[in-house]
Structure 1
Amino acid sequence: MMDEARYNSLVAAAFKRILTAADAFDPDVLEAEATGDKVTLTAASGEKCIINTQRAVWQVWVAGQGQGIHFSYDDASRTWKDDKGKGLELFAFVAGVVKHLTGEALTYPS
């Protein structure tokens, strides 16, 4: 069951994982900035990937490559899945956006 404390914990872990992966990039290729409920990944071109909380519905929203996708936490798979049933997963989607922006792979820590 999702509650505010659990949502906050899951989001904090997701943001930390994304930031740790982004920190491996040369800052001239990709910069990561966290401010409260938002992580912004900015490529050298100025293009961005924005990961933001959607607290009212306990989701994470990602904007990148001209689209905005909402992800809900799925207890069964223990992953963040898109809310439209397209089979998208949060970390894979962010990695795809970063690959599009930089030409380089975003590798998450184990």
Structure 2
Amino acid sequence: MMDEARYNQLVAAVFKRMLSAADGIDPDVLEADVTGDMLTLTASSREKCIVNTQRAVRQMWVAGKSQGIHFSYEEGTGTWKDDKGRGLELFSFVAEVVRDISGADFTYPS
């Protein structure tokens, strides 16, 4: 299992990248709020996408599209992949959820 310092570094990068994407969307369409280990993306419809840490198992958890998905970091590829092997990637999944709940494109900065 990865050490806590590495996990914290990765989580900070995830939240920073997602907040940067949210900054590109009108706040009347989508609001982003970070509280501790949780990032909440709320659409004007009041629907939410929640990204949360799962520190004990060094994963990220996303609630959206009426499901909760756990993502584990793969050092070899440098990506967060779902832990059930469905081929879901964290950033793409969150972008899909945001598009579904808000109609906005959730574009990550390069």
- How does the TM-score come out when normalised to structure 2? 0.98
Rounded to whole Å, the distance in 2 between the matches of 1:66 and 1:81 is: 19
Which structure's relative contact order is higher, taking Cα pairs within 8 Å and 6+ residues apart? 2
Which position in structure 1 is the counterpart of 2:45?
Answer: 45
Report the CA distance between 1:41 and its aligned residue: 0.1
* Partner residue in 2 for 1:91: 91
Q: Which residue of 1 aligns with 2:66?
A: 66
Matching of residue 14 in structure 1 with residue 14 in structure 2: yes
Identity of paired residues, percent? Answer: 71
Q: Per-residue deviation at 1:106?
A: 0.4
- 5+ residue gaps, structure 1, are none
- SS of 1:13's equivalent in the other structure is helix
Report the residue type matching 2:59 in the other structure. Q
1:76 is the counterpart of 2:87: no
**2: CA distance, partners of 1:86 / 1:79:** 14
**1:58-96, Cα deviation, whole Å (9 max, x unpaired):** 000000010000000001110000000000000000000
How far 1:103 sits from its partner (Å)? 1.1
Paired with 1:9 and 1:36, the residues of 2 have a C-alpha distance of: 14
Q: How many residues align?
A: 110
Look up the equivalent residue of 1:8 and give its one-letter code. Answer: N
The DSSP-based 3-state class of the residue aligned with 2:109 is coil
For residue 6 of structure 1, report the CA deviation from its aligned partner.
0.1
**Regions of 4+ moved over 3 Å:** none
CA drift of 1:2 comes to 1.1
Alignment partner, residue 4 of structure 2? 4
- Structure 2 unaligned residues grouped into runs of 5+: none
